[in-house]
Structure 1
Amino acid sequence: MSSVYHPTVARLTYRALLGRRRALILCALPLLLLVISVAVRAFSGADDATARQVLEGFALATMVPLIGVVAGTGAIGPEIDDGSITYLMAKPVRRPTIVVTKLLVAMAVSVAFAAIPTFVAGLILDGNSRHLAVAFGVAAAVASLAYSSLFLLLGVVTRHAVVAGLVYALVWEALVGSLVPGAKTLSVQQWGLALAQKVADAGAVSSDVGLGTGITLLVAVTLVAAGLAANRLRSLTLAGEE
């Protein structure tokens, strides 16, 4: 495990992600979700259809990818932008280890701030009726893993990772991936919904992607993005050495 995970790199990454400014951003969206859930439950009572709309339309389509942007890009992007990554790469730490460690931290932060609040919101909205809370909690967790990897890759390949991530999260996932039939197959949100559909009671959740396809694409995107990020970081090191 020590060959792929470096405790010091992890500690520094946690410190960067959970600093005052990013912590406020990470807390704001889950807090908003919980406030909305409490208000909806107070005014509408427990209703499965309403719970699904809130969990799918706000939590999975908007909150989860936005938290992925903050965690994924923030895990490595700022260090590349200000040049401090060179000090880390000068240490006797393998480049893939740096990427894997930062990715694991980003995943942990994303799951903590996205999947857990989604599950709690489901409990507030309808008390896990038809297993909606568990289903969307699982969907948010697996989607968080893929988003973390995708946005970490963006943080490595471009200085405008946050902007690119926001465009992807707000335009593709929240709008195009939710409304355009052909684009839904390439939506992380739909891949997560495929698992939610499996976990929830029959007919409670629907997805435009089959379970096998959803799982395959989630795993493939997560691994490929992580591999590309590691390869890109290695090439940056070589450029600096030259």
Structure 2
Amino acid sequence: MFRGVVAIVVFTGFAGGAAAFDANNYDAETAPAEALEYGLDSYRSGDKESAIEALSFAADKGNAIAQWKLGQMYAEGDGIAEDDYKAFELFSEMADAHADDIPGQPSSRFVSDAFVALGGYYRDGIPDTRVKQDLTRARQIYSYAASYFGDPEAQAKLAWMYYNGEGGERDSVQAARWAKLAADKGDVNAQALLGHVLFEGEGVPRQPVLGLMYLTVARDQASDSAEWIRDLQERAVSVATENERRTAMALAEDWRASKVRQGR
């Protein structure tokens, strides 16, 4: 759900002057950016207790990056007792305050992550809290992150919701549309879904070569545990013609080479 490890590295040195922040003496005049930097430095050094204290201070002051990182720690039980509802509250604060942030800004990736997390909480619900399963709301949230921020994870999850008819009518055309956007950004689950829809022609014109290409690319990148991707690809290979197989494999190789050239 999160892209946390890489994201923290991006913000190394974000605020500057981390040494000036004293976790034992901060007050209302302390800059949230100082607390954020101290918190991230503490986290990287393994001092998660100090990290939580400093990040909580910055989060309470409305610092979006601190809210995001603290929410992630609550969601994963990372250095603190796991608490999905607390994570939900932090991500909600971010979404409410930064929904209109300009995409492409350094902070927008964190805001987008918060929306994806909220979509997941509404999709599944949080037991013993007021956050109940609401698939319609989940689809709306994924749709916002997918369209406004262009988030590939949101695009992939939205594609699957359209494909499965979750939160609204089933729509294979919309599923293929959103899956393609995410697939071309490297999302493996979206590649598999798009490949399956195109190969089978589910609600869209059948394109077996392109479908098998995406399925092959997905299988090459999928983890060993993603047996469903392997099964879809093997089934497609078994029913494709020899010419379709050869052409799809060549296209898959070209696709991989192009991504290498692009540094992905």
Q: The TM-score by the shorter chain falls in which range? A: under 0.3
Higher helix proportion, which one? 1
Give the TM-score normalised by the residue count of structure 2: 0.26
Give the TM-score normalised by the residue count of structure 1: 0.28
Higher gyration radius (CA):
2
